[in-house]
Amino acid sequence: MHFVVLTIFPEMFDSFWDHGIIRRAISQNNISASTLNIRAFAEGRHKVTDDRPYGGGCGMVMKPEPLARAIQEAKKQKPLAQAILLTPQGRVFDQHVAREFASFEDLILVCGRYEGVDERVCEDFIDFEVSIGDYILTGGELAAMVIMDSLTRLIPGALGGEDSAEKDSFSDDLLEHAHYTRPKTFEGSDVPEVLLSGHHGEIEKWRLETSLIRTFLKRQDLLAKKPLTNPEIEILKKWCRDIERIIHAQSSLGSDALSGPE
Q: Which of 143, 148, 154, 223 binds ligand 4GY (CB under 6 A)?
A: 143
The verdict on 30 binding ligand 4GY (CB under 6 A) reads no
The verdict on 139 binding ligand 4GY (CB under 6 A) reads yes
The verdict on 136 binding ligand 4GY (CB under 6 A) reads yes
155 three-class SS = coil
262: Cβ contacts below 8 Å, ≥ 6 apart: none
Catalytically annotated residue among 11, 14, 123, 168: 168
Size of the site for ligand 4GY (CB under 6 A): 16
Catalytic-residue membership of 115 = yes
Of 141, 120, 137, nearest in space to 5 by CA: 141
Between residues 53 and 88, which has the closer beta carbon with respect to ligand 4GY?
A: 88
Q: Which of 20, 59, 133, 160 binds ligand 4GY (CB under 6 A)?
A: 133
Stretch that binds ligand 4GY, among 19-27, 109-117, 193-201, 249-257 (CB under 6 A): 109-117
Catalytic-residue membership of 88 = yes
Between residues 85 and 223, which has the closer beta carbon with respect to ligand 4GY?
A: 85
3-state helix, strand, coil in the chain (%, to 5): 50, 15, 35
Q: Contact at 8 Å (CB) between 93 and 130?
A: yes
Helix or strand (DSSP H, E) at 17? helix 14-17
Q: What are phi and psi of 51, to 5 degrees?
A: -155, 170
77 three-class SS = helix
Catalytic-residue membership of 207 = no
Q: Which of 22, 30, 37, 112 binds ligand 4GY (CB under 6 A)?
A: 112
| DSSP single-letter state for residue 200 | H
Shortest distance, CB of residue 75 to ligand 4GY, whole angstroms? 20
Residue 163 CB neighbour total at 10 angstroms? 15
Count CA atoms within 13 Å of residue 59 on its CB side: 9
Shortest distance, CB of residue 118 to ligand 4GY, whole angstroms? 10
Catalytic site positions? 88, 115, 153, 168
Residues that bind ligand 4GY (CB under 6 A): 86-88, 112-113, 116-117, 131-133, 135-137, 139-140, 143
